[in-house]
Amino acid sequence: MEFLAKAAEWFIGLFQEGGNTFMGLVTGILPTLIVLITFVNAIIKLVGEDKVQKVATIATKNIVTRYTILPLLSVFFLTNPMCYTFGKFVDEKYKPAFYDAAVSFVHPITGLFPHANASELFVYLGVAEGLKQQGLPLGPIAVRYFIVGLIVIFLRGVTTEIITAKMMDKRVVSKNS
């Protein structure tokens, strides 16, 4: 009898702990998140997609902005998954590289701008929760995640652009022979 009671207590304990965690997430993270996302959503609507598209077409011109500014703009303003539609502004041969850069930025951006990918927040938030428990500020990690994210998507864009070009050449050769 006592064993059963212990077992029941242990079982319910699992979910009490979960409940406490849930409470912590809802009261600790949600309020700021909601206000921040509302603000950014309003800004996006006020700016309007037309203006963003104009800047985007300029950003396609050179290799550096193509894999940094362009993905940043698209992920910030259109958010995941509609951000990939900005692929239409780049040449055919750059499309895989642009996709690679844009999709690789949908998590690094969430540290500072959670609206961009609200359904996948916990890649960052999961890790950030641990830092919070250690009593550490989240500013430094969010900023560094963002900056390293930009560097990584640039490298990724360039690498994929080169690989795509090589593979396209090979296809042309094999088709002609």
Q: Under rule CB under 8 A, which residues in 95-124 are in contact with another protein?
A: 95-96, 98-100, 102-104, 106-108, 115, 118-124
Closest separation between CB of residue 80 and another protein, Å?
A: 7
Residue 88 touches another protein, criterion: CB under 8 A:
yes
Distance between CA 12 and CA 122 in Å, rounded? Answer: 25
Number of Cβ within a 10 Å radius of residue 24: 13
Closest separation between CB of residue 115 and another protein, Å?
A: 8
Q: Under rule CB under 8 A, which residues in 42-61 are in contact with another protein?
A: 42, 45-46
Residue 69 touches another protein, criterion: CB under 8 A:
no
Residue 81 touches another protein, criterion: CB under 8 A:
yes
Q: Under rule CB under 8 A, which residues in 4-23 are in contact with another protein?
A: 10, 13-22
Distance between CA 67 and CA 75 in Å, rounded? Answer: 12
Answer for the pair 89, 70: CB distance below 8 angstroms, yes or no: yes
Determine the interface stretch with another protein among 32-40, 49-57, 65-73 (rule: CB under 8 A). Answer: 32-40
